[in-house]
Amino acid sequence: MPQVTYVAHGGARQTVDVPVGENVMRGALYNGIDGIVGECGGGLACATCHCYVEDGWAGKLAPPSEAELQMLESATCEVKPNSRLSCQIAMTAALDGLVVDLPEAQY
């Protein structure tokens, strides 16, 4: 099963298994990762699952949709070129080892 490492704003790292086909947001929620809220449940209706994809991984992800880019505009913390909504990142075997940094806050 592919793994994702979630890096908290303070630097603490947690690595968990996330099944192929599941999204990175649910991987965090199912494993009690602090820093991802997922208030809308992955419906692309909030930005409380904002994350920063670490260098080297962005090119392995499908590009963000226009709807995701628009929703990111409502993120609480700074939106950077590597910002993504974790609900929009579906796990694949090729993403095994993915590392995402979490912003300081989601609200």
Residue ranges per structural domain of the chain = 3-101
Report the alpha-carbon distance of residue 95 to residue 104 in Å, rounded. 24
CATH topology of domain 3-101: Ubiquitin-like (UB roll) (3.10.20)
Q: Which of 41, 22, 33 is nearest to 92 (CA)?
A: 22
Confidence (pLDDT) at 21: 97
Grade residue 69 by pLDDT with cuts at 50, 70 and 90: very high
pLDDT over 70 percentage in the chain: 100
Question: Rounded to two decimals, what is the model's pTM?
Answer: 0.96
Confidence band, pLDDT 50/70/90 cuts, at residue 47: very high
CA 97 – CA 94 distance, rounded (Å) = 9
pLDDT classification of 62: cutoffs 50, 70, 90: very high
